[in-house]
Amino acid sequence: MKVVYSENFRAVYSSDPASAPGRMEAIVRELRGFEFVEPEPAREEEILLVHSPSHLQRVKALPSVYPLALLAAGGAVKASELAMEGEPSFALIRPPGHHAGPNSFWGFCYFNNLAVSLQRLLRSGRIRRAVAVDFDLHYGDGTAAIFSGSREVSYHHAEGGREEILEGIASFLEREDYQLVAVSAGFDNHQEDWGGTLSTEDYRKIGKMVKEWSLRKCGGRRYGVLEGGYNLSVLGRNVRAFLEGFG
């Protein structure tokens, strides 16, 4: 199990909660014992696999955001490459990405990190089918828009109460066919965060569930990327719980 991370992600690049000072540090402190690997920035041609040229130019016009947004997308790419090599991985990155659509960005997201990493593998022919599981409190409208009508990627957002969320993820992973599982891992639906629903143990269960289904259906190829999660007093241990189940 490897964690893709750069010290550059500690930078405060905007005033939004995803960029809050200390957010990445709160997670890193809890991940002692995990192996960390460095990402490289995504290339513009990789961003253009899922975003329009005008979208790219609008983000490029944000000088404090653009270099980190490229690095975040590159972190997701690195995690996907590790997964393809049989190494479960987690991209500990920011800005997050699941609200970024083909020609729009909002909700603290600029480039859709998960979509960039998946589309890159699809367009190269290295996979034909993948699933994206999103357990962030908020619907990943950007990811859904990018893969709308696609036969190559099925997107599932975990919604409802605690039991509905857990059962929904299991049902989705059971019924779909796929060669790779990608996870938008948002932790803002924790009992002590914005959503107030899931326990720390539930994140461990979700991680274990994804691991078990990936081993059954796609040779264990799986990776996750960080999305939301804003209560710094619980965020780190929630991420650790997920990775303990996932790895």
Q: How far apart are CA 37 and CA 89, in angstroms?
A: 10
Tokens at residue 169, please?
């993820």
pLDDT in tens, the chain (247 residues): 999 999 999 999 999 999 999 999 999 999 999 999 999 999 999 999 999 999 999 999 999 999 999 999 999 999 999 999 999 999 999 999 999 999 999 999 999 999 999 999 999 999 999 999 999 999 999 999 999 999 999 999 999 999 999 999 999 999 999 999 999 999 999 999 999 999 999 999 999 999 999 999 999 999 999 999 999 999 999 999 999 999 9
55 is catalytic: no
Tell me the H-state helices in 51-199.
53-60, 66-84, 113-123, 141-146, 162-175
Catalytic choice (55, 98, 99, 190):
99
pLDDT at 152: 98
pLDDT at 138: 98
Q: How far apart are CA 200 and CA 186, in angstroms?
A: 12
pLDDT at 223: 99
Q: Quote the crossing angle between the two packed helices 113-123 and 66-84, to the nearest 10°.
A: 50
pLDDT at 231: 98
Q: How far apart are CA 103 and CA 19, in angstroms?
A: 22
Question: How many residues in total does the chain contain?
Answer: 247
pLDDT at 132: 98
pLDDT at 98: 98
pLDDT at 196: 98
